[in-house]
């Protein structure tokens, strides 16, 4: 596999007023527009890992575009167009200061909290007697604060409203949209032989209205299990077969890294990097039902700059 990666961009687009390097995306502002470039960086435990993953940015961008289009009838979103396989252009919005995490299964952070003996997560009570990866009685919303640096923190609905982080009217709309998006995402995943385990949504405001921003149902923001064999694996108390970034987190934990002070990131071998790339491509094809068309890697930065510039000239 070609190991070239898009690790960071520093373009100067027409009308550009600012550039923000996120954990994974490079976000350019130009007037009322946002130009979001999905890099090949990968993060886990809120740390950007030292090596990029070939084609990861393209997968992320194209999965997000696919689902933004598939959900636009139920929730308005920020997307205008995708002029390049790694880029989405959309409306600039005022981002809400919480992320809406919704969980249908007891997995990942929720399971680690439950296993520690706690029966409450973000103000939501969980029943006794559950095991890892069990389906919850109903999907639960477990919001987090959006940290500009470091870890996002769990927060309850009550605390969000009490602290005035989000107005109650807006929060009610975000809750409703979150449930509808999760229901639609779960239905699409089921058609593809997958279970949408949990995911997160981000919202912003434009002209006083709440709209969906950023990515949706990507392997960076969501976990998926394979439907086939799910029940059997649960009954045998085995780990679930999943398509998500969780296996990267598990690999890091097995190698002594959880993003805590004093811990060193383990070496990412070529073999491991290529395995991660293949998993991302597999998820794209499984989720969308489309064959993944690898974009040209030679002169990648030039390709992106030319495609975005051409788009900006036309609008």
pLDDT tens digits along 169-190: 999 999 999 999 999 999 999 9
Please give the Cα distance from 32 to 209 (Å, whole number).
16
List, for residues 38-85, the tens digit of each pLDDT value: 999 999 888 999 999 999 999 999 999 999 999 999 999 999 999 999
Residue 251 phi, psi (nearest 5) = -60, -40
Strands 87-91 and 33-38, by their bridges, are antiparallel
- 3-state DSSP assignment of residue 203: strand
Domain spans in the chain, listed from the N-terminal domain onward: 95-244
> Could you write out the three-class secondary structure of 130-180?
CCCCCEEEEEEECCEECCCCCCCCECCHHHHHHCCCCCHHHHHHHHHHHHH
List, for residues 130-172, the tens digit of each pLDDT value: 999 999 999 999 999 986 555 679 999 999 999 999 999 999 9
**pLDDT for the residue numbered 1:** 45
Instruction: Taking the CA atoms of 152, 51, 3 and 21 in sequence, report the sign of the dihedral they define.
Output: positive
Tokens of 85: 């396989």
Q: Which CATH number fits domain 95-244: 3.40.50.300, 3.50.50.60, 3.40.109.10, 3.30.470.20?
A: 3.30.470.20
List, for residues 215-268, the tens digit of each pLDDT value: 999 988 999 999 999 999 999 999 998 877 878 988 999 999 998 999 999 999
CA proximity to 232, closest of 96, 103, 118, 133: 133
Q: Is the pLDDT of residue 126 over 90?
A: yes
**pLDDT for the residue numbered 244:** 76
Q: What is the pTM of this model?
A: 0.91
Strands 25-30 and 16-21, by their bridges, are antiparallel
Please give the Cα distance from 111 to 267 (Å, whole number).
27
For tokens 């029966």, name the residue. Answer: 119
- 266, burial (CB in 10 Å: exposed 0-12, middle 13-18, buried 19+): middle
Please give the Cα distance from 116 to 278 (Å, whole number).
34
Average pLDDT of the segment spanning 91-100:
95
């Amino acid at each position: 596999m070609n190991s070239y990666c898009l690790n960071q961009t520093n373009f100067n687009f027409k009308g550009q007023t600012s550039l923000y390097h996120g954990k994974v995306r490079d976000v350019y502002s130009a007037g009322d527009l946002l130009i979001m470039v999905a890099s090949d960086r990968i993060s886990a435990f809120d740390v950007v890992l030292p090596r990029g993953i070939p084609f990861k940015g393209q997968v992320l961008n194209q999965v997000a575009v696919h689902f933004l289009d598939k959900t636009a009838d139920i929730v308005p979103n920020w997307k205008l167009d995708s002029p390049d396989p790694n880029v989405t252009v959309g409306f600039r919005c005022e981002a809400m200061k919480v992320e809406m995490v919704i969980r249908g299964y007891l997995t990942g952070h929720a399971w680690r909290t439950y296993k520690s003996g706690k029966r409450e997560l973000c103000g939501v009570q969980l029943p006794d007697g559950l095991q890892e990866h069990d389906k919850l009685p109903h999907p639960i919303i477990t919001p987090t604060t959006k940290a500009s640096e470091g870890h996002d923190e769990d927060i309850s609905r009550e605390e969000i409203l009490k602290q005035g982080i989000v107005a109650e009217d807006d929060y009610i709309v975000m809750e409703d949209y979150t449930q509808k998006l999760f229901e639609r995402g779960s239905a699409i995943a089921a058609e593809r032989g997958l279970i949408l385990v949990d995911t997160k949504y981000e919202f912003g405001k434009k002209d006083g209205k709440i709209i969906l921003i950023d990515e949706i149902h990507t392997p960076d923001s969501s976990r998926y299990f394979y439907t086939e064999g799910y029940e059997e694996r649960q009954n045998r108390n085995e780990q679930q077969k999943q398509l998500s970034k969780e296996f990267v987190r598990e690999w890091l934990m097995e190698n002594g890294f959880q993003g805590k002070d004093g811990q060193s990131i383990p070496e990412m071998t070529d073999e491991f990097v290529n395995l991660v790339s293949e998993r991302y491509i597999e998820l794209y094809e499984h989720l969308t039902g489309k064959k993944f068309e690898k974009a040209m890697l030679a002169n990648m930065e030039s390709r992106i700059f030319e495609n975005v510039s051409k788009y900006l000239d036309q609008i």
